[in-house]
Structure 1
C-alpha cells in the first residue's frame, strides 16, 4: 500500500475546474453527434444505400456514430460522478478500497474512480 496525502482545497478546485471544462467540451461534442445522428436518421429514411458501391452505407455510418455517441455518454457520466465525489468529499479516494488515488493518476484521468492498483486488477480480470 502506497502512502498518499489527501488532496488540498486548491487541488480540489483545480480538478473541479478541469472536470467542468471537460464536461463542457463533451456537451458540445454530444450536441454535434446528435445533429449528425439526426442527419443519418433522415437520410436512412429516404435512401437505399445498401447497394451503393461508393463508401460506407448509411447503416454502417449510423453504427459508427452511435458508438461514438455511447462513448461520449460514458465519459460524461464518469465526469458527473467525479463532480459528485468532489461535492461530497470523497473525490481522490478509490471507490473500491477507500485509499487515496495518486495525484499523477488524477492528473492523467481526473475522473478516475479507482487507484492504479485496483484499475490494473480490474483490467486483468476483464482480460481473463
Structure 2
C-alpha cells in the first residue's frame, strides 16, 4: 500500500481543492441571492425569477455535494490515523494503490464498488 505520508498529502490536496470550490460556490450563491433581491419577488410572473431560483437551487446542490466530499475526506483522514486506510469496508481486502491515487477517499475496493 502507498505510504501514509503520500496518502495524507493526497487527502490534504483534495481538501484544499474542495474548500476552494466551496468558497467559490458560496460567493456565487451570495451573488445570486443579491441579484434576487434586486428583482421582482414574484417568481411565477417574473421571467428572471425562475432562472434565479434554478441557479440558487443548482448552487445549493453543489454546496451540499462539496460538503459531503469534505466529510468523506475527513473520514479518510480518520481511517489513515487509525490504520484502516486502504482497507475495503465491505470485504476487508486491500484497496488497490491505483484506486487510492484516483480516489483518495475510497472506502471500498474496485470489486466491491462495482458489485453495488
What is the TM-score when the length of structure 2 is the normalising length? 0.86
- Select which of 90, 93, 97 maps to 1:103: 97
For 1:15-54, what aligned pairs fall within 5 Å after superposition?
15-48=7-40, 50=43, 51-52=46-47
Moved over 3 A (4+): none
1:66-113 Cα distance to aligned partner (Å, 9 max, x none): 111112112111111111111110000011221111111111111100
Structure 2: segments with no counterpart, 5+ residues: none
Aligned to 1:112: 106
Aligned residue pair count: 112
Q: What are structure 1's unaligned runs of at least 5 residues?
A: 1-6, 123-128
Query: CA RMSD of the aligned region, Å?
Result: 1.8
